[in-house]
Amino acid sequence: MAKYSSPSDFTAVNPNYATGLGYYTTAAKVAELLQVPDFTSTTTPMHSEVGEFIKRVEDFIDEKTGTSWRRLLYKDEHHNFTFGTGHYPTTYWRDYVGFVQLDRHDVQKIIALDVWQGNQWLNLASAEASVTMNDYTSMVSGTSQINLKLPNSGLVFNLLAGTTTSRFDSTYGNKTAAEELVALINETFPSKTASLTGATAAKAQTDSTGAKTVSDFFYATIDTEDSNKVRIISLLPSDDGANCSIYLNGSASTTSAHGLEVTSFTDNEDSSRMNEWWKINREGRIFFRTKFPYVQLNSVRVTYLAGSGRVAGVISDIATKLAACEILRSDDATVLITESGNQISVKEKYDLLRAEALDMLAGKKEDVVLIE
């Protein structure tokens, strides 16, 4: 049963943990449950601290249930491919030659659907461009730049070489520069290069107007067959990203300069039930028709975004109660929640809220049935 919406859904989803706004609940809802004034920058705890509680609680809920009610990225999930009957009984007619079952359902977007064809990976999904680091010694800090432009919007992300958190460090070599560029486009902490560069924070990059962030529109990964090459994939729906542009040093006609070389976005996706492949998003299942792996073992590699598009009321209730428990547990001095002796104690309230939340959470766990 794929419930699409409900009047009970939590719809005030405007995440900003620094101000106490999460995906599943808010600091205001937690304060309402505890019957205390709203959390602010001057309360104990501050709304930013409550936001940290909410962040941890949301991850706890996702891990416990094996699913998510927010969009999460799953990278390089490998699957075997069985040509022919697959796991289903033979029928009179089918419109696919084989399928794979992803580990997560509620698929929102297939970012990369790579199939191994004997001597190379072929991406069957999305729109993809590339950047190859040919000569790091020619990259000039603050001058060498990779430009990613969104279709028809005029918004451009200028990715410059350099040593700050908004640039990619090209000091140590082509492969290091490639890893740095991946971290910059994905706006993540450069864990693979931080020991070399001394980075202490996640990278971040906005467009030329400062309104949008690059990781909302693009995803980057190292090409497994060429570690000097960065694959850049559009996160726009389906193949809309084929209308994005990539060039160098601010010139739309420049594709090679300062030790960098780029290739344009190409439309890889030909997906529908009558085309190369199709999928059932709710079930996380991908069916192959005319293009498929040439070998069986570990021959399908998928990177995708998954998570329900709605936050069920019960999930919001669970998150609110668990976040409240974190506050009760940290309130050792009973500054926030006073005890007069006329109501249940802080410990009793903690135990009650946590027990209720965990009982509800147990009913939301995913059951996986494999049909052989």
116 lies in some domain: yes
What are the two backbone dihedrals, phi and then psi, of residue 184, each rounded to the nearest 5 degrees?
-70, -45
Residues 231, 160, single domain; the answer is: yes
The share of the chain scoring above pLDDT 90, in percent, equals: 72
pLDDT at 370: 46
- DSSP for 143-190 reads T-EEEEE-TTT--EEEEEESSSTTEE--SS-HHHHHHHHHHHHHT---
Burial label, 81 (beta-carbon count in 10 A; 0-12, 13-18, 19+): buried
Determine which helix (DSSP H) or strand (DSSP E) holds 112, and give its type and residue range: strand 107-116
Residue 1 lies in a domain: no
Grade residue 371 by pLDDT with cuts at 50, 70 and 90.
very low
| Residue 251 per-residue DSSP state | B
DSSP 214: G
- Same domain assignment for residues 132 and 223: yes
Same domain, 23 and 100: no
Residue 106, CB-side half-sphere exposure with 13 Å CA sphere: 19
- Position 314 pLDDT exceeds 90: yes
H or E element at residue 297: none
- 368 is a domain residue: no
pLDDT tens string 160-211:
999 999 999 999 999 999 999 999 999 999 999 999 999 999 999 999 888 8
CA distance 262 to 129: 7
| Residue span of the structural domain in which 191 resides | 127-267
- For residue 4, being part of any structural domain is answered with no
Looking at the structure, tell me whether residues 216 and 228 fall in a common domain: yes
Last residue of a domain, one of 267, 294, 327: 267
Regarding whether 280 and 150 lie in a shared domain, the answer is no
Res. 366 pLDDT band, cuts 50 70 90: low
* Whether the Cβ atoms of residue 281 and residue 45 lie closer than 8 Å to each other: no
The helix, strand and coil proportions of the chain, stated in percent and rounded to the nearest 5, come to 25, 25, 50
In a domain, 2, yes or no: no
Any idea what DSSP says for residue 249?
Answer: T
Q: Are residues 106 and 233 in the same domain?
A: no
pTM for this entry: 0.87
Instruction: Kindly tell me if the per-residue pLDDT of 336 is higher than 80.
Output: no
Could you give the CA distance from residue 323 to residue 32 in angstroms, rounded to a whole number? Answer: 12
CB of 61 closer than 8 Å to CB of 318: yes
* CA gap 98, 287 in Å, rounded: 6
Q: Which two tokens stand for residue 357?
A: 């939340």
Phi-psi sector, 35: left (phi>0), alpha (psi -120 to 50), beta: left
pLDDT at 354 over 70: yes
How many domains are contained in the chain?
3
Sheet with 226-234, strands from edge to edge, namely: 218-223, 226-234, 127-133, 260-267, 256-257
Last residue of a domain, one of 240, 267, 294: 267
pLDDT at site 333: 46
The answer on pLDDT for 136 being more than 80 is yes
